[in-house]
Structure 1
Amino acid sequence: MKNYIPNRSIEYNDNRISKFIAQNGKCAVTGVELGVSDWHCHHKNPYHLSKDDTFSNLVILHEAVHRLVHLKDSEKIKKLIKVLKLTKK
Structure 2
Amino acid sequence: MKNFIPNRTIEYNDNRVSRFIAQYGKCAVSGIELGFNDWHSHHKNPYHLSKDDSYSNLIVLHEGVHRLVHMKDIDKIQSLLNALQLNNKQKEKLNELRKQCNNKTIRLGE
Query: What TM-score do the two structures reach when normalised by structure 2?
Result: 0.79
Structure 2 unmatched runs, 5+:
90-110
Structure 1 unmatched runs, 5+:
none
Cα distance in 1, alignment partners of residues 33 and 3 from structure 2: 17
RMSD (Å), alpha carbons: 0.7
Runs of 4 or more consecutive aligned structure 1 residues displaced over 3 Å after TM superposition:
none
- Using the TM superposition, name which of 13-22 and 79-88 deviates more: 79-88
**Count of residues in Structure 1 that have an aligned counterpart in Structure 2:** 89
Cα distance in 2, alignment partners of residues 6 and 76 from structure 1: 30
Superposition pairs of residues 15-54 of structure 1, within 5 angstroms: 15-54=15-54
Aligned-pair identity in percent equals 71
1:6 is aligned to: 6
Alpha-carbon shift at residue 40 of structure 1 (Å): 0.4
2:61 is aligned to: 61
Counterpart secondary structure, 2:40: strand
Cα distance in 2, alignment partners of residues 40 and 88 from structure 1: 22
Cα distance in 2, alignment partners of residues 79 and 35 from structure 1: 23
**1:29-59 CA distances to partner (integer Å, 9 max, x unpaired)?**
1101100111000000100000000001000
Alpha-carbon shift at residue 78 of structure 1 (Å): 1.4
